[in-house]
Structure 1
Amino acid sequence: MRLPSLSLLSAAASVVFGFRLPAPGNPEYQSLALKDRALRARQSRVTDSTVEQQRAAAVKDAFTFAWNGYFTTCKGQDELEPVTNTCTNPRNNWGASAVDALSTALVMGSQPIVTDILDYIATIDYTTTATEVILFETTIRYMAGMLSGYDLLEGPLSNLTTNASAVDTLLAQSKSLADSLSFAFNTSSGIPSNHLYFTNQTNDGATTNGLADIGTLCLEWQHLSDLTGDPSYGDLAQKAETYLLNPLPESNEPFPGLVGTNVNISNGVFLDATGGWNGGDDSFYEYLIKMYVYDSSRYSNYSDRWIMAADSTIKYLTSNPASRPDLTFLASYVNTTFVNSSEHLTCFDGGNFLLGGSVLGRQDYIDFGLALVNGCHDLYNSTLTGIGPEIFSWNTTGVDSTNEAFYHANGFYITDPLYDLRPEVMESFYYAYRITGNTMYQDWAWNAFVAINATTRVGQGFSAISDVDAANGGSFDNVQESFLFAEVMKYSYLIHAPDSIFQVASNGTKNQFVFNTEAHPLKVFGPPV
């Protein structure tokens, strides 16, 4: 069973009375839940637009609460540790939570927060840090966060600041960061190193880099080139990408379009045929179709490669658990041997198939994407907290007395019960609603948001929890990653927010923006699709 949804009552309390949604352990929660059942019985009397407004306002309230907790205690540092109300700096002490929060504050129209972040970003020195820099994480969080802020403030949300120089600074700081990172590509092949040290312009000495770490740079670095008029940034990422678009040796592409994970930095050759849509590989496939959305005239070859991967995924990786054949998950592979386990990270897959089907006019991809969304919804619908686990399996050889009943009822069993504030299920709900218009997906997103708020909210923020199938989520892990601001809050808000130019296209419209893997909307450069 799962905790009951607070539905309209909790949102209305936040909007009308100024209450915050109840936190874990708050006795108000059960009381509100009981009252909510009666309220939902009368929900047909409330217009859909009122429901959406109240839900969006409640999410904005939660975002503001978390932002105030972070910025009051940890301004200039990366993340708040909400249990101990202390700060941590896993992202080079450049203020990751602030930069990641900018595009969400913008789409929510939170002008005071936007002003605080713009003022802060102007003070960051991206040329120096004493700690290891991760190229992939820095690109998707910092660079994309600033480029997205620039696009939104130069375009549809220009009313949220009168400080033109602060907007220009976003682009200048993006360039400064890219200039600092560019030595990563100084290898014999052009495949970048992922772990960097600015103090002496070196790396960690690794001889390999991963599929997602290489293949999730092209959108941000190309967009920087397009905005600055300097092709060098995009050229670096595109050269690395060519090894992934034309993989060698052929044996390490076990299915058409589906490749291995580890790439030799010195020559760009794949070193294995292990892969799938799980973490470490995931956003390579995600960006293939998103580069086509970004510029369909320049990157049609990316969509060709995505179509190959999508067709092979449907043909070879589709898996229906024996105990619940109505569910659809994606297996991974080791060579041509399939592995029936998956991750919360993988649950972006439904949204990616939906986006691909929408822009390519392929109903089969849309239908498959919806099946994947339904499977990931059941992850949330099957646990005590109403939140999905980090890792799960439907491999029948792993079913024992401890998980047999759970597996037979739910079609999977939990192998890692952590919830790290991940956004992927909410992300796929968002795409499902935008592309189909079915309000069921709004309800699913709202229920997930209420469960996350009720279980992970602690102190002045939100924390990872140890066990999604334990009372109150087990224990708090005292981690509030910056992607809570960038992704969980943004998708939870936008699915209920009014239509706008930066939303994923719906009802036959064209995409004016494309979301990077950290949910930062970037303005498309080519003909909208």
Structure 2
Amino acid sequence: MARILRIRTIAFCAFLLITLYYFLPSEHATSLLHVSPLHHGGTIVLAQYMNDARHIPRIVATKSSFAWNSVKFVYPPELTPKLPPHATNRPHIQHSFKAESHDIALIQGKRREEVKRVFKKAWASYRKYAWMKDALKPLSGEYVDQFSGWAATLVDSLDTLWMMGMRDEFYEAVEAVAKIDFGFSTSGTVNMFETCIRYLGGLIAAYDLSGHEALKEKAIEVGDLLYAGFNTENGMPVDFIAWDTAKSGSGLYVEETVVSASPGTITLEFSRLSQITGDSKYYAAVSHVMDTFYEHQNETMLPGMWPMFVSMRRKDVVSGYQFSIGGNADSMYEYLPKAHALLGSTSPSTMKYEIMSRTFMNTAMENLFFRPMLPGNEDILISGNCDVVDMEGTPTPRLDPESEHLSCFIGGLFALGGRLFENEEYLQTGAKLARGCVYAYKAFPTGIMPERYNMVLCPDNKQCKWSDTRWATERDKRKEWKDHLPLGFTTAKDARYILRPEAIESVFVLWRITGKEEFREAAWDMFQAVANATDTRFANAAIKDVSKVGSEQEDYMESFWMAETLKYFYLVFADPALISLDDFVLNTEAHPFRLPKA
């Protein structure tokens, strides 16, 4: 009888485990994997079950029609430095959250489900009308291929599906991804930057979360494709890979001028791929690129930062007078502290990332961030641009109080840097920058900030009293946009909202680092505004004018809507153990890379 009872008990436990795995939302599953068995009896059994390969659908990756690892390079990149040992001394990043009351947990659960509802609607439309295409057009229900025709939205959304517990949809997507032919492209050239952050980043993150080997195999294919972009005479990567030339191995021509973000946004993906595969070649290639930026960081017209445009052909990252952490430069700066988080400072080749991070952050604080003149004297910061002009033979930095939605990532990055480098000034600066973007959202009638705008500077970045006269004078100097402007704003020169994630990204990071409820409440206000203004029959669309309620929409929905924007909203309201900042670092497309443990 005792034996029969044991068998029944085991059978019941097996049934319960299967039920938990397939029906619990993924944040609970993730939490269970990381809690101590001292507090949750049976957790270790569940963890073993979920990591058992027998319970993962068998999906075999189809080899692409061209083997990128077979190309014989005319200019093979150096194979050193070797991948360094894992960092072991990372500081604690995420706030120590306590258990919430039942009522608060219920509210946040409803918010999380509302975000998931919006995502599921968009995903269902993509699956029905644009499956295996790069992007869905949310007004017409048609599709567009703008990133080589490798199903950008599909690959970009893999990890979001996993986080939201949509396991059936996830494995259906993995099966489709496993068949993508990275030996064929709809375009004669392949964009290095976009392919790296969306495709390689998406595949690595989905593998890091699920452990499915088919994703790893496809990530290696894309990694080898991008590695072909380093087959150049000086070892610097191209901006666009000439498809047929790259296949021949005869060597690629490095463009004369590129935006600095392009060569500066490969570090995380290539380094993580080396960690996953044990092959240092990816890490070595990108390390040499970053050496070029490191060696000349203090020789520019704004020492500590690099101009928006650089020449990798001439290895010139010094010439130029325009400096910004916004478009054209943003993710290069973003990857410096994050590379330090991923790699640590365990070798001479990795120590540069902390030095470059601290140097640029100090320069940005002194030259780019400003306090705007506002009616309520709110203590916020906005990130502007800096032009270095010649004043009687002396290069002089001049702050331009123009900002953009793209710049809103910087608040979260400074907060992350504050924890990584144990610098309270960085953290407080990050909080003020995040609050600045939240303010810009609230200020406009739709509850959404514009793509690009100007504000009035407070002199010397100190608190300044509101002046109607000064505001009107500054506004009238600008030729663009004098109507429908909130107090303090002098332009909304690009009034669109194109479903961008950068503001909610910083709000998410500040919530996870500080635990302050103001950020979670701000996120909910932002989500409601965005979801209402962009909703369409099929999914969500960009809007043309955030200053007008009921603005006309555009038939446009980038893959980052599901890969980034909705993911960050979801994570704000999810269990903080889901994608803990102590366990993951997110690339510029919000793809989480697992931080290796010693």
**TM-score between both structures, scaled by the size of structure 2:** 0.74
- Could you tell me how far apart the structure 1 residues matched to 2:313 and 2:254 are? 12
- Residue equivalent to 1:34: none
Shift of 1:526: 5.7
- Residue equivalent to 2:227: 182
| Among candidates 172, 176, 180, match of residue 116 of structure 1 | 172
- Secondary structure of the residue aligned to 2:403 is strand
Given that 1:211 and 1:263 are in contact with CA atoms closer than 8 Å, whether structure 2 keeps it comes out as: yes
Q: What pairs with 1:308-457 in structure 2 (closer than 5 Å)?
A: 308-323=359-374, 326=378, 327-335=380-388, 336-394=397-455, 399-400=475-476, 409-457=487-535
Q: What pairs with 1:234-273 in structure 2 (closer than 5 Å)?
A: 234-247=283-296, 251-255=299-303, 257-270=304-317, 271-273=319-321
- Could you tell me how far apart the structure 2 residues matched to 1:203 and 1:210 are? 18
Q: Which amino acid aligns with 1:262?
A: F
Given that 2:198 and 2:589 are in contact with CA atoms closer than 8 Å, whether structure 1 keeps it comes out as: yes
- Secondary structure of the residue aligned to 1:141 is helix
Shift of 1:411: 4.3
- Secondary structure of the residue aligned to 1:187 is coil
| Higher mean displacement: 214-223 or 195-204 | 195-204
Q: Which amino acid aligns with 1:305?
A: M
- Residue equivalent to 2:97: none
Given that 1:82 and 1:462 are in contact with CA atoms closer than 8 Å, whether structure 2 keeps it comes out as: yes
- Could you tell me how far apart the structure 2 residues matched to 1:181 and 1:55 are? 39
Shift of 1:456: 0.5
Q: Which amino acid aligns with 1:266?
A: R
Shift of 1:141: 0.4
| Per-residue Cα deviation, 1:213-245 (whole angstroms, up to 9, x for no partner) | 111101001111111111111111111111111
| Per-residue Cα deviation, 1:113-148 (whole angstroms, up to 9, x for no partner) | 101110111110112213131101110000010000
Shift of 1:457: 1.1
Shift of 1:209: 2.3
Q: Is residue 223 of structure 2 the alignment partner of residue 142 of structure 1? A: no
- Secondary structure of the residue aligned to 1:333 is strand
- Residue equivalent to 1:503: 580
- Could you tell me how far apart the structure 1 residues matched to 2:323 and 2:198 are? 24
Shift of 1:183: 2.3
Given that 2:444 and 2:486 are in contact with CA atoms closer than 8 Å, whether structure 1 keeps it comes out as: no
- Residue equivalent to 1:87: 143
Q: Is residue 266 of structure 2 the alignment partner of residue 217 of structure 1? A: yes
- Could you tell me how far apart the structure 2 residues matched to 1:434 and 1:323 are? 28
- Could you tell me how far apart the structure 2 residues matched to 1:358 and 1:374 are? 18
Given that 1:83 and 1:463 are in contact with CA atoms closer than 8 Å, whether structure 2 keeps it comes out as: yes
Q: Is residue 512 of structure 2 the alignment partner of residue 465 of structure 1? A: no
Distance 1:263 1:95, change over 3 A: same
Shift of 1:203: 6.4
Given that 1:188 and 1:266 are in contact with CA atoms closer than 8 Å, whether structure 2 keeps it comes out as: no
- Could you tell me how far apart the structure 1 residues matched to 2:262 and 2:254 are? 16
- Secondary structure of the residue aligned to 2:453 is strand
Distance 1:80 1:501, change over 3 A: closer
Distance 1:83 1:48, change over 3 A: same
Q: Which amino acid aligns with 1:183?
A: A
Shift of 1:301: 2.2
- Residue equivalent to 1:126: 182
| Per-residue Cα deviation, 1:456-499 (whole angstroms, up to 9, x for no partner) | 01121111111111121x21111110001111111000001012
Q: Which amino acid aligns with 1:495?
A: V
Shift of 1:204: 8.1
- Could you tell me how far apart the structure 2 residues matched to 1:274 and 1:525 are? 37
Q: Which amino acid aligns with 2:586?
A: F
- Residue equivalent to 1:494: 571
The number of aligned residues is 463
| Per-residue Cα deviation, 1:128-180 (whole angstroms, up to 9, x for no partner) | 213131101110000010000111112xxxxxxxxxxxx11111111111222
Given that 1:344 and 1:391 are in contact with CA atoms closer than 8 Å, whether structure 2 keeps it comes out as: yes
Shift of 1:323: 4.4
- Could you tell me how far apart the structure 2 residues matched to 1:408 and 1:497 are? 33
Shift of 1:404: 5.9
- Secondary structure of the residue aligned to 2:526 is helix
Given that 2:239 and 2:258 are in contact with CA atoms closer than 8 Å, whether structure 1 keeps it comes out as: yes
Give the root-mean-square deviation of aligned CA atoms: 2.1
- Residue equivalent to 2:340: 292
Distance 1:203 1:133, change over 3 A: farther
| Per-residue Cα deviation, 1:9-36 (whole angstroms, up to 9, x for no partner) | xxxxxxxxxxxxxxxxxxxxxxxxxxxx
Given that 1:129 and 1:199 are in contact with CA atoms closer than 8 Å, whether structure 2 keeps it comes out as: no
Shift of 1:45: 10
Given that 1:347 and 1:373 are in contact with CA atoms closer than 8 Å, whether structure 2 keeps it comes out as: yes
Q: How many percent of aligned residue pairs carry the same amino acid? A: 28
Shift of 1:66: 0.5
Regions of 4+ moved over 4 Å: 202-205, 395-398, 401-408
- Residue equivalent to 1:48: 104
- Secondary structure of the residue aligned to 2:408 is helix
- Could you tell me how far apart the structure 1 residues matched to 2:552 and 2:484 are? 21
Q: Is residue 554 of structure 2 the alignment partner of residue 477 of structure 1? A: yes
Shift of 1:398: 5.4
Distance 1:478 1:398, change over 3 A: farther
Distance 1:343 1:67, change over 3 A: same
